[in-house]
Amino acid sequence: MEKITIIVIILGGLIFFSHLLNKLFDKTKIPNVLILITIGIIAGLFIDSKIFFGEVGRVFTTITLIIILFESGVGLKLQELKSSILSATLVTIINFIFSVGIVVGITMWLADFDFTSALFLGSILGGTSSAVVIPMVRQLNMGQKAGTVLLLESAFTDVLCLVVGLAVLESMKAGNLEASSILINMTKSFLLAILLGLASGFAWSLLLNWIRGIKNSMFTTLALVFIVYGGAELLGLNGGIAALSFGIVLGNSEYFDKMKLWKKIFKIETAKLNDNEKNFFSEIVFVLQTYFFVYIGIVIEFGTPLIYLISVMIVCIVILARIPTIRLLVRKDCTPDDKLLMSIMMPKGLVPAILASIPLQEGLPYGQEIAEIGYAVVLTSIVMCSLLIIVLGKKKKTEVQTDTSSSVLPIETETPDENTAEATNTEQLHEPDNN
C-alpha cells in the first residue's frame, strides 16, 4: 500500500514539475522531453520495467499516440494543409529513404548485419516520432508552415516505419524479400486509413450538435477516436493516420457548410469542436505526454559502448543528410531558423521502441543487436535533438541581443536653456488654431 501511495504522489508531482519545465524552457531552452526522459532513466535503475508495466505499457503508449495525433489534426487548418502537404510528402519520402540507407550501410559495415536484418532496423528507424516531435514543435513556437510539415512528416513516417518494418520482418522469417507486397500494403494502409478517418469525421460533425445535448458527453468524441483507431487497425490499416484524418475534419468542419454541393446533400449544419473541447483535449495531451517521456526513459535498455558509437554515427549522418533536403524542398514561408530546426528535428520514439525487440522475441538472427541498437538510437536521437535545440536557442538569443545593442546608438542632444524653452512655449500658445 505504501508503494502505491508513493507512486500516486510521484504521478501528481510530475504534472507540477512538467508545468515548471515549460516555464523554464523560455529561459534555458532545455526541452522538457530531455529532463523527463532523464527522470525515467533514473527511475528505471530501480524498476524492472517488464514486471512493472508488462502489456499495460503498450496500451498506454498507444493511447498517448492516438490522442496526440487526433488533437494535432484538430489544430491543422485546411489552408496550412494545402500549402504544406506537397513539401511534407516529399520531405517524408526522401528523408525516410536516406535514413534507411544510412542505417543499412552503417550496420552492415560496423555490426556485420546481413542485408535483410539491416533493412528491418533501417525501416523502423527511418522516421520521426509524432509523440516526441509534436510537443517539441509546440515549445519552439515555430512558423505555421514549418510546424505543419514536421507534424505531417512524423505522422506519415509512423506509417512507413510500421508498414515497411513489419513487411521486412515477415521477409526475415520467410527468408526472401518482396518489394511489391511492401508497396501494396503501404498504399492500402495510407489511403484507406485516410478515407476511414475522413468518413468518420464527416459523420460525427453532423451528429456533434445533437450529441452535446446529452449529459456528460465531453468524452464521447474521445471514445469515437478510439473506435476509429481500433477499427482501422482491425482492418489492417494504420489507426494513427485514421485518427489524424478524423481530427482534421473536426477542426475544419465549418468549411463544409460553405460548399454548395454539401448543402444540397446534407440539410443539417456541421459542427466543429468548441474552445472548451479543444482545451479539454489539450490538457489530456499534456498529461499523457509527460508520463510518456518518463515511461520511455524507464524502458530504455543500455547496450555496449560500440552500440552507442553506432547510434551516434547514425544520428549525426541522418541530421547532415536532412539539411540539404529541407533547404531544397521547403523554400516558401519558412525562415532560415525554422529550416535549421527542421533539419535537427529527427527524434525517434514509439515505433522503434516497440518493434526493435520483436526479432529477439522471435529468435531471429541479430535479434539482440537489433534491440540494443534500436533502443540506443531512440535515446541518442532524443538527447542530441534536445541538446542542439539548446545550443541553437542560446545562439539565437545572443544574436538578438547583439542586434539590439548595435542598433541602439547614443544620440547627443542639447538641453535647451530656459529662454529657448520659454520662447518655444510662447510660440505654441500664440499659434493660430487651423481647426
Render pLDDT for 203-238 as a digit per residue (tens, 0 to 9).
Answer: 898 888 888 888 877 889 999 999 999 999 898 888
Residue 433 vs residue 87, higher pLDDT: 87
* Residue 422 located in a structural domain: no
Distance CA 200, CA 249 (A): 9
Distance CA 413, CA 399 (A): 29
* pLDDT mean over 147-152: 90
* Residue 293 located in a structural domain: yes
* Residue 420 located in a structural domain: no
Band the pLDDT of 97: cuts 50, 70, 90: very high
Among 70-79, 243-252, 426-435, the minimum mean pLDDT is found in: 426-435
Residue 329 · residue 145 · CB < 8 Å:
no
pLDDT of 420 reads 47
Band the pLDDT of 118: cuts 50, 70, 90: very high
pLDDT of 412 reads 44
Q: State the CATH number of the domain containing residue 229.
A: 1.20.1530.20
Among 7-21, 357-371, 394-408, the minimum mean pLDDT is found in: 394-408
- CA 313 to each of CA 106, 123, 249: distance values in angstroms, whole numbers, following the listed order: 8, 17, 41
Band the pLDDT of 424: cuts 50, 70, 90: very low
Calculate what percentage of the chain has a pLDDT beyond 70. Answer: 84
Band the pLDDT of 260: cuts 50, 70, 90: low
pLDDT tens across 326-377, in order?
Answer: 998 887 778 888 999 999 999 987 778 778 878 887 788 888 899 889 989 9
Number of domains forming the structure of the chain: 1
* Residue 50 located in a structural domain: yes
pLDDT of 91 reads 92
Band the pLDDT of 381: cuts 50, 70, 90: very high
Distance CA 383, CA 347 (A): 8
* Residue 15 located in a structural domain: yes
pLDDT of 257 reads 65
Quote the pTM value: 0.74
Please say whether the dihedral angle defined by the alpha carbons of residues 73, 294, 106 and 169, taken in this order, is positive or negative. Answer: negative
Q: Under DSSP, is residue 266 helix (H, G, I), strand (E, B) or coil?
A: coil
Q: Which residues of 234-264 are buried (b: 16+ CB within 10 A; e: fewer)?
A: eeebbbbbbbbbbbbbbbbbeebeeeeeeee
* Residue 431 located in a structural domain: no
Residue 74 · residue 248 · CB < 8 Å:
yes
* pLDDT mean over 266-279: 78
Helix and strand numbers, DSSP H then E, in the chain:
19, 0
Q: Under DSSP, is residue 304 helix (H, G, I), strand (E, B) or coil?
A: coil
* Residue 116 located in a structural domain: yes
Among 127-131, 149-153, 162-166, the minimum mean pLDDT is found in: 162-166
pLDDT of 371 reads 87
Distance CA 136, CA 133 (A): 5
- pLDDT averaged over the chain? 81
Q: Domain limits at 68? A: 2-396
Calculate what percentage of the chain has a pLDDT beyond 90. Answer: 24
Residue 231's contacts (CB-CB under 8 Å, 6 or more residues apart) are 196, 239, 242
* Residue 373 located in a structural domain: yes
